[in-house]
Structure 1
């Protein structure tokens, strides 16, 4: 237990009538100060603890509580009401607490719990369930807060624990090269299927750091591993959690906007393959400076609404979907200036692109010799590692009108010949 402890205090019995529900605890008037060198409790090691508390009328006033819990230093102040009533006769525990510290590593607490569980008889994995019969308000701030691969600086905010729900308000921190703000609710009223409903606002976040730090982001945006740069995003997310506390992606709904401040896509195999076919070397590394893109996640699929980008005089439109941990289905539309394909800046290398387009023209019957631009649709399916890419020429309005005119002219000639054969009279033809 304790290898070093000292305390001083006084207790008096209050005069006057009181409820018999709590017996002596309803009559206690206690002031206590304590210093504890080291204390082992359940999965936690508590050291360097000093406290100054008052108890009266089943209220605990924590004037000061300093301690180190599993190497995490915390300071606590606040008040708890119905403390013994909650413990003994199922009264609701109410309270207001302020918690702060310099450095807090949640992994150390989790590691202790995991090691204890592994040593004990194996039990079925369950999600973290919040206690009921409480109404608690928390204010907290930490200079450094660590959980898994996520490092938060100047982490602060408030929360309310009520009816097995944790309401989070204005959680702020510096993280992943930028800043983040979180509001929302974690609900465990159905302990077998906890849910969340959250709103995120992230500013000046580095793609690479977010990809490394957050597993869900890796699954929702696998392309992020190929992006170097900084972005802002605001989105709302709701869904349920599995027993391992990972999101059940089949239940997730997300709506949001991602705005790139600067960025560049490099080494993304599907786009590199498209660039090789069309011989558009500028597309092997795509700039993402000042773009705004709406996205949605519904029923396990990520949808990217159409956005436009111009690179080296080539207009590009992109839209599509991908399944979480599954195949993608994206569409690219390129509007390429003819003069760009006619240039041969690298000793004839561009001929590769022209040759490919000529073969497409032969297959589809769509001429590429008309108009100032060549429009190409590219379907992108399969996986990032093994993409399935299909190219098609799009018919420009100018070409479409000419094809329609040719068809009408052909039909007109056939009709004229039929009339001549039927009537034996020559029909004057006109073409304009």
Structure 2
């Protein structure tokens, strides 16, 4: 008869203790609950109590167990007023202290606190009461307001935990949650099962739509190789045109230096051999009679020779080449091979060239790979051309300055 005597106070005070618990928890959460907890609010607690009552009635619980279940539901999130992680254990302490002050029987206090404990993610449920409270606490995933509450939870985590989620990341986390979660009791499965399946399906669809929207946004911002935009084609066309113009300019400047210095060399050589006789040997009498002039003339000769040689090297046709495996089955996608340049494809057999070109025409990535490689080596040739051209112009400029200075010194010496 002792269990019956133990239960009598709970039965007798059932309505009153629950009424007092509601008033106490409501005031406690309204006054002390942090405002950033927009999901784990008083509204959430009231909802869990309501769902726990429905599940308890569906399960046909006795009055004492129904009372313990509802008391646990009222107190299960009160620990949030002090801590976030591990708030369940603080909720147990708050419930135990308050129930003891109300003179609630000790054995029933333990039932209530043990039921609260099971709401922690790492605590297993060992009896029906604990499973019913777990299902009531997680009933949101089987209700129509699941997605609205999920946004509240997202906002709460971002403010309290400092986490930020993109739409795709949040949709993925919610889908993972639904796939890993489950209801423990048959009452919860019967009450929430259909809506849970509908929410799971809608979450999958939402994730697909979110990912598709993100992909379109990225493609709009940057474009992709899968669907090339007109801007990419214009970029390649402009780069090819600029490289051709720069190459043509370099060749014209080199030809100008070649012509100028060739004339200069001809004049110098002609002057040095002019009026050469038996007495003066192979040199002009002017040089023989004025040996000091050999310095400026020698400098001018060296200037013209150095400038014309570097200009010729600049204008000389240059074919970039490198070693690569002809047996490679992926010739067209090899970044070291450029099938658009004769210096490379002339080393292939006709069959290999056909195979590579067919691969380029059939794969956009291979096409862009070869175009980028072609532009790179065009730039490499241009770098060499302009380096030699700069050297040619520098030699010519410095040589003329030194020649003029030495000629001036020679005139002063003669005077």
The structure that is strand-richer by fraction is: 1
TM-score bracket for the superposition, by shorter chain length: under 0.3
Largest Rg, 1 or 2: 2
For CA contacts below 8 A with separation 6 or more, give which structure has more relative contact order: 2
Q: Please report the TM-score for the alignment, with normalisation by the length of structure 1.
A: 0.26
